[in-house]
Structure 1
Amino acid sequence: MSAGHSHAQVRAGHERKLWIALGLTGSFMIAEVIGAFVTGSLALLSDAAHMMTDALALAISLVAIQVAKRPADRKRTFGYARFEILAAAFNALLLFAVAFYILYEAYQRLQAPAEIQSTGMLVIALLGLIVNLISMRLLSAASGESLNVKGAYLEVWSDMLGSVGVIIAAVVIMFTGWGLIDSVVAAAIGFWVLPRTWTLLKASMNILLQGVPESVDIEQVEQGIRSVPGVKDVHDLHIWALTSGKNVLSTHLVADASQGSEQQILSRVTELLHEQFDISHATIQVEGEGFQHDDHDEVHA
């Protein structure tokens, strides 16, 4: 009960920070979009587009947290926690679309450079940088605990870099008049975002495909279980994650009755999984020494 209560408190902390970040980002996004068209800056438009995806990502993350609060039922026996991972995957796909759009626009601008108002561009970019830094500060700690929040954090982080790039471009245009730097910076922002977006999408897909969590070494888990007194063999071992930080395990054990009762051996293994590998939800079938398991199952272990 205490573990569940702690998890709920963590989620509540995430939600509060996301609401604050959404208020800051959404409010400034409108001003930045208008400023991008007024100044004619593609780099600023790129930053505005990322600010828009930031707001969408934060809103989606908040919806995901609300859905994840719903209790398990007969149709969703594990609850709705995985909805957060769907949100993270959607955010990644959204970032891919924005990045490719900006790269296309940058290519078009290189062919036909536009006149840019560098002073307005600089002022808006500076304000955007301040908003992004505040949002990053709010989300940084929670991003290590939730892929959902991490998706929102990565978008704010990439947008912060975009604001820095726009500031540099505005200063260059102001002192040299070299307008092409605007398109170059816009393209650089797009290329900078792509690999980080791929990392988020890959992590999300690993959970959706029930892969072994990146933080878990399945070989170490198996060796740890085998080291428990009373465990003679381990097979059909599966480890996956319902959502960020909520790992699940199922396995079959062959027990040595001379080392204690099946219940005692099960308690030792459960304690090991919880304390050493942070796996609190485990389904373990204990079998006697004479049990013969199907070798075909080993292929899926």
Structure 2
Amino acid sequence: MSGGHGHGHTAGADRRYLIGALALIAGYMAVEVVAGVIANSIALISDAAHLLTDASAIALALVAMRIAARPAGGAYTFGYQRAEILSAQINGVTLLLLVAYFAYEGVRRLLDPPDVHGPVVLGTAVAGVAVNALAAWLLSRANRRSLNVEGAFQHVLNDMYAFIATAVSGAVVWLTGFRQADTIAALVVAALMLKAGWGLLRDSGRVLLQAAPAGLDPDEIGRLLAAQRDVEEVHDLHVWTVTSGYPTLSAHVLVARGADCHRVRTRLADLLHERFAIGHTTLQVDHGAPGLERHCVDPHGPRHSDPLKSPYGEP
């Protein structure tokens, strides 16, 4: 049994940029709630709710970064690095719950549109575009390998687009008196929240279910390993992600009689790192021939072997 270690995993995003973006968003969120109540605008209030999810995403990212930095020990052999994945799940669920509320409220207001103060909506939304643009710039300078940081960045970016839609609706209400424009803008915001929430749940769910990282095909990896010199078979191949930017692989490798197990293991670990950027590998390497000896009590997954090779490397 042997392992190649080299996580290539950084600690997380720059806390200063996240704190700066959080202060901007939280401060403007309070302003927008007041403006939304004064203008009787569901578009502004829904934008404020989106800002709340943005602020929550950044706050959770900061907390998760602190938790994930704790050293591994005891039962937590990988440490607490999946804290960011759990916070991404929470953020995604929150987004979807808000989508349901604003979709319901939006449909209700389409049928019975209230009076909306267009100039207040327009002015507040234009200021919101500027605030979100600055927050997005701050987050773009942080380490976006973290799923939380990238999710927060996408939220703020989507929120900027939502503010643009709200500004347009405010101008339409002000200039034409078409009150439904405010509700249509709110539904656009809800659609953006749905996209962001679903994306977070999908990506974090893949990590929690230990699916192979996007862009890595376990079958392709298995075939490549089996085609290497002195390798007879590869099975029990597992590829998963511990946390953002931390792909991990384990496998059982059978090598030809007379081959140096340590050299084969080192060669395969280097190949995985160079071709697939997998720095954390655990390879169990044994001598044996496919189908002739049983090394695993309960082997999982497909077996990979090169059909051009015969047992023990014989021609």
Q: Give the structure-1-normalised TM-score.
A: 0.92
The structure whose RCO (Cα within 8 Å, separation 6+) is larger is 2
Query: Within 2, Cα distance between the matches of 1:188 and 1:280?
Result: 42
Verify the 8 A CA contact 1:92 1:151 in the aligned structure 2: no
Moved more, 286-295 or 238-247: 286-295
| Residue 244 (structure 1) shift | 0.8
Which residue is equivalent to 2:219?
A: 219
Matches within 5 A, 1:110-149: 110-140=110-140, 142=142, 144-149=144-149
Residues 165 and 113 from structure 1, CA distance in 2 versus in 1: closer, same or farther, beyond 3 angstroms?
same
Find the residue that maps to 1:77 and give its secondary structure: coil
Which residue is equivalent to 1:266?
A: 265
Which residue is equivalent to 2:280?
A: 281
Residues 143 and 175 from structure 1, CA distance in 2 versus in 1: closer, same or farther, beyond 3 angstroms?
farther
Query: Within 1, Cα distance between the matches of 2:39 and 2:300?
Result: 63
Query: Within 2, Cα distance between the matches of 1:37 and 1:30?
Result: 11
Find the residue that maps to 1:74 and give its secondary structure: coil
Residues 246 and 6 from structure 1, CA distance in 2 versus in 1: closer, same or farther, beyond 3 angstroms?
closer
Residues 76 and 25 from structure 1, CA distance in 2 versus in 1: closer, same or farther, beyond 3 angstroms?
same
Unaligned runs of 5+ residues in structure 1 are: none
Verify the 8 A CA contact 1:250 1:283 in the aligned structure 2: yes
Query: Within 1, Cα distance between the matches of 2:104 and 2:166?
Result: 18
Verify the 8 A CA contact 2:155 2:196 in the aligned structure 1: no
Find the residue that maps to 1:284 and give its secondary structure: strand
**Letter of the 2:10 counterpart:** H
| Residue 139 (structure 1) shift | 2.3
**Letter of the 1:62 counterpart:** L
User: Is the aligned partner of 1:67 residue 2:70?
Assistant: no
Matches within 5 A, 1:197-208: 197-208=197-208
Which residue is equivalent to 2:183?
A: 183
Which residue is equivalent to 1:7?
A: 10
Verify the 8 A CA contact 2:13 2:146 in the aligned structure 1: no
Residues 26 and 214 from structure 1, CA distance in 2 versus in 1: closer, same or farther, beyond 3 angstroms?
same
Verify the 8 A CA contact 1:228 1:268 in the aligned structure 2: no
Q: Give the structure-2-normalised TM-score.
A: 0.88
> Alpha-carbon deviations, 1:241-298, whole Å to 9, x = none?
000110111100001244x411111110111111111111111111112542458524
The Cα RMSD (Å) is 2.1
Unaligned runs of 5+ residues in structure 2 are: 1-5, 304-315
Query: Within 2, Cα distance between the matches of 1:125 and 1:240?
Result: 42
Query: Within 1, Cα distance between the matches of 2:223 and 2:137?
Result: 40
| Residue 120 (structure 1) shift | 1.4
**Letter of the 2:63 counterpart:** V
Query: Within 2, Cα distance between the matches of 1:285 and 1:5?
Result: 22
Residues 150 and 181 from structure 1, CA distance in 2 versus in 1: closer, same or farther, beyond 3 angstroms?
same
User: Is the aligned partner of 1:76 residue 2:76?
Assistant: yes
Verify the 8 A CA contact 2:99 2:193 in the aligned structure 1: yes
Higher helix share: 1
Verify the 8 A CA contact 2:235 2:300 in the aligned structure 1: yes
Query: Within 2, Cα distance between the matches of 1:284 and 1:294?
Result: 14
Query: Within 2, Cα distance between the matches of 1:160 and 1:12?
Result: 21
Query: Within 2, Cα distance between the matches of 1:237 and 1:24?
Result: 46
**Letter of the 2:51 counterpart:** M
Residues 81 and 271 from structure 1, CA distance in 2 versus in 1: closer, same or farther, beyond 3 angstroms?
same
Matches within 5 A, 1:249-264: 249-258=249-258, 260-264=259-263
Verify the 8 A CA contact 1:238 1:250 in the aligned structure 2: yes
User: Is the aligned partner of 1:169 residue 2:172?
Assistant: no
Count of aligned pairs:
296
Residues 49 and 199 from structure 1, CA distance in 2 versus in 1: closer, same or farther, beyond 3 angstroms?
same
Query: Within 1, Cα distance between the matches of 2:173 and 2:123?
Result: 14
Query: Within 2, Cα distance between the matches of 1:6 and 1:94?
Result: 28
**Letter of the 1:202 counterpart:** R
